[in-house]
Amino acid sequence: MLECLERGCWETGSDWKREGGLGGGSGAEGNRCSWECVRYREGALPAKLLSAPRNRLEGKVLETVGVFEAPKQHGKYETGQLFLHSVFGYRGIVLFPWQARLYDRDVASPVTEKSENVAGHGSKEVKGKTHTYYQVLIDARDCPHISQRSQTEAVTFLANHDDSRALYAIPGLDYVSHEDILPYSSTDQVPIQHELFERFLMYDQTKVPPFVARDTLCAWQEKNHPWLELSDVHRETTENIRVTVIPFYMGMREAQNSHVYWWRYCIRLENLDSEVVQLRERHWRIFSLSGTLETVRGRGVVGREPVLSKEQPAFQYSSHVSLQASSGHMWGTFRFERPDGSHFDVRIPPFSLESNKDEKTPPSGLHW
């Protein structure tokens, strides 16, 4: 998490510089801290930060990129809102919001009795709660800083040809929840470096925020809505490790006289404790409506065995699954290792794989 400079907590890629304490007076303005968003840059360390830990800042300089705004407790952020990601620290800008159903197994209804479900283990029924998520652009300058903690090409599409396994990715797109956003404002007319920024957004100083959607963004969103929208988010915590899963239907392809249905799923692992742990294994079970049950075991995830610590508490990645049926379920466990060598399993909340049966047109990719 990003914390203030006074606490001596420095994250690679971004930090806060506190310019003042809690304001006097009353009301929201009077109780707001005065903060500035700052970033690491090459160069000499500024004199006023010489008291900060030098080992993480050697050869770097902090550069102001904007003025921090009070996070919204209610409502949603609009297209064009600049922000820092509260977990991964990158600069981003909101393209558009999504209304998702969040199934949080940590707050399951206490009046519901336990029952066995298709996921194969007893669990309380979980009712979905509406929660706001956002489609955002990631600043390309920050991608190198977060590449070991979060994939920067997590949004994928099926290719527009006969190869049912071919995928292509859109770099620098992400999905973030409302609480991930630390909003700020900037006088820079091009504050985010991304190849789609000026195609999707334009500067209008009469607006707040001053970046408004171009027709190309509206058309792209409408064209690819079925393949971009997230509808369900699943979350569960075990041993202070919180797992969040967001599944996306990607479409159907025909292969060898059969239909193959594809999904991608984005997973975030968060360590809510101060103890350092490392992900060692994954164990998936995949149930298809056709009646098959597949078990998948392997080392780590996407070729990595991430360490989750107080300084780097989260890891986020995406993967894919295909079924020869229009729906199914996935669930499983991640095995973590503690510093003393002991292991423990963290539950992956069961989630449905549902196809958009009413959609006849395959994912169409980028169209300007």
**CATH code of the domain containing 255:** 2.60.40.1470
User: By percentage, how much of the chain surpasses pLDDT 70?
Assistant: 73
Amino acid identity, residue 182? L
> Among 192-196, 248-252, 283-287, whose mean pLDDT is lowest?
248-252
d(CA 248, CA 267) in angstroms, rounded, equals: 12
d(CA 145, CA 148) in angstroms, rounded, equals: 8
Same domain, 72 and 214: yes
When pLDDT is cut at 50, 70 and 90, the band that residue 9 belongs to is very low
What pLDDT was estimated at residue 321? 94
What pLDDT was estimated at residue 107? 78
The per-residue pLDDT for range 317-344, each reduced to its tens digit, is 999 999 999 999 999 999 999 999 999 9
Same domain, 73 and 203: yes
Same domain, 223 and 194: yes
Check residue 7 and report its DSSP letter: G
Same domain, 223 and 253: no
Give the side-chain half-sphere CA count within 13 A for 55.
Answer: 2
Same domain, 89 and 212: yes
Q: Is the predicted pLDDT of residue 130 greater than 50, yes or no?
A: yes
Residue 334 counted as domain residue: yes
The per-residue pLDDT for range 264-277, each reduced to its tens digit, is 999 999 999 999 99
> Nearest 5°: phi and psi at 311?
-75, -35
Check residue 45 and report its DSSP letter: P
Same domain, 221 and 250: no
Cβ-based neighbour number of residue 24 at 10 Å: 7
Following DSSP, what letter does each residue of 250-290 receive, concatenated?
EEEEEETTEEEEEEEEEEEEEE-SSS-EEEEEEEEEEEETT
The structure tokens listed for 111 are 């009046």
Which residue in the block uniquely carries the two structure tokens 């399993």?
Answer: 345
Per the structure, how many domains does the chain have?
Answer: 2
Residue 264 counted as domain residue: yes
3-state secondary structure 154-209: CEEEECCCCCCCCEEEECCEEEEEHHHEEEEECCCCCCCCCCCHHHHEEECCCCCC
Same domain, 197 and 287: no
Region of 293 please: left (phi>0), alpha (psi -120 to 50) or beta: beta
The per-residue pLDDT for range 283-316, each reduced to its tens digit, is 999 999 989 999 999 999 999 999 999 999 999 9
Q: Is the predicted pLDDT of residue 43 greater than 50, yes or no?
A: no
What pLDDT was estimated at residue 24? 32
Same domain, 97 and 211: yes
The per-residue pLDDT for range 230-244, each reduced to its tens digit, is 889 999 999 999 999
When pLDDT is cut at 50, 70 and 90, the band that residue 357 belongs to is low
Q: Is the predicted pLDDT of residue 7 greater than 90, yes or no?
A: no
Residue 337 counted as domain residue: yes
The most confident of 1-10, 44-53, 212-221, by mean pLDDT: 212-221
Q: Is the predicted pLDDT of residue 25 greater than 50, yes or no?
A: no
d(CA 2, CA 244) in angstroms, rounded, equals: 20
Domain that holds residue 76: 1-6+67-107+128-229
d(CA 246, CA 347) in angstroms, rounded, equals: 15
Residue 254 counted as domain residue: yes
Residue 55 counted as domain residue: no
d(CA 318, CA 311) in angstroms, rounded, equals: 22
* Domain closes at, from 174, 209, 229: 229
Q: Is the predicted pLDDT of residue 42 greater than 80, yes or no?
A: no
* Domain closes at, from 165, 194, 229: 229
Same domain, 269 and 183: no
Residue 62 counted as domain residue: no
Same domain, 219 and 95: yes
Nearest to 95 by CA among 131, 137, 66: 137
* Domain closes at, from 172, 206, 229: 229
Q: Is the predicted pLDDT of residue 166 greater than 60, yes or no?
A: yes
Same domain, 268 and 195: no
When pLDDT is cut at 50, 70 and 90, the band that residue 164 belongs to is low
Cα angle for residues 244, 247, 249 (degrees, 5° grid): 170
Q: Is the predicted pLDDT of residue 174 greater than 90, yes or no?
A: yes
Same domain, 212 and 153: yes
What pLDDT was estimated at residue 92? 97
> Among 70-84, 96-110, 282-296, whose mean pLDDT is lowest?
96-110
Q: Is the predicted pLDDT of residue 108 greater than 60, yes or no?
A: no
Cβ-based neighbour number of residue 209 at 10 Å: 20
Residue 330 counted as domain residue: yes
> Nearest 5°: phi and psi at 7?
-85, -5
> Nearest 5°: phi and psi at 312?
-130, 80
Q: Is the predicted pLDDT of residue 195 greater than 60, yes or no?
A: yes
